[in-house]
Amino acid sequence: MTIKEGMKAPEFSLPASSGKEVSLKDYKGKARVILYFYPKDDTPGCTVEACGFRDAVKRFEKEDAVVLGVSPDGDASHKKFIEKFKLPFILLSDEDKKVCQAYGVWVKKSMYGKEYMGVARTTFVIGKDGRIEKIFEKVKPEGHTDEVLSFVIYAKNSFSK
């Protein structure tokens, strides 16, 4: 199934860096969810993206939005990444890649002529009603946070009336 804007977001429950399980339904009716999928903790592009969200997290909160990062990394890796870069939001561990697959971001990639499976850097903005409002595909880490925040402000003023 291909995920599209306007569709109900696939439900999930994943172990979080906070030590608890986090589900999408935890936020339904309460907050817009910025669900960003990234390939690997503490790598150049992923660090730029995570630090962008870190630096803007208060602005997202002001707009009634919560940031959740998802990668196949385990809890220990997430905790180190959070500590090293002082990330103030939850990272979710999708070690079996089921949520990545449900959202269509576990894809065939290639580098230096070699093919492998990996996470396509993608961000989903999920409304308080559980529907996908916006999908940012083929994300470039530099400036991405501003792009997402602009959409969230637009969505809050347009969809939340």
Tell whether the torsion through CA atoms of 57, 76, 141 and 96 is positive or negative. negative
What CATH number is attached to the domain comprising 21? 3.40.30.10
Q: Is residue 61 part of a domain?
A: yes
Residue 137 has pLDDT above 90, yes or no: yes
Q: Is residue 5 part of a domain?
A: no
Using one digit for the tens of pLDDT, what is the confidence trace for 45-80? 999 999 999 999 999 999 999 999 999 999 999 999
- The letter for the amino acid at 54 is R
Q: Is residue 111 part of a domain?
A: yes
Q: Is residue 104 part of a domain?
A: yes
Q: Which of 11-15, 42-46, 53-57 shows the lowest mean pLDDT across its residues?
A: 42-46
Q: Is residue 158 part of a domain?
A: no
- pLDDT category at 161 given cuts 50, 70, 90 is very low
Please state the length of the chain: 161
User: Between β-strands 65-71 and 90-93, what pairing exists: parallel, antiparallel or unpaired?
Assistant: parallel
Residue 1 has pLDDT above 60, yes or no: no
Range of 93's domain?
13-148
Q: Is residue 74 part of a domain?
A: yes
pTM of the full predicted structure?
Answer: 0.94
Q: Is residue 62 part of a domain?
A: yes
The question of whether 46 is a catalytic residue gets the answer: yes
As for how many domains the chain has, the answer is: 1
Q: What is d(CA 24, CA 30) in angstroms, rounded to the nearest whole number?
A: 11
Q: Is residue 155 part of a domain?
A: no
> Considering 14, 22, 24, 46, which one is annotated as catalytic?
46
- pLDDT category at 111 given cuts 50, 70, 90 is confident
Could you give the 3-state DSSP secondary structure of residue 112?
Answer: coil
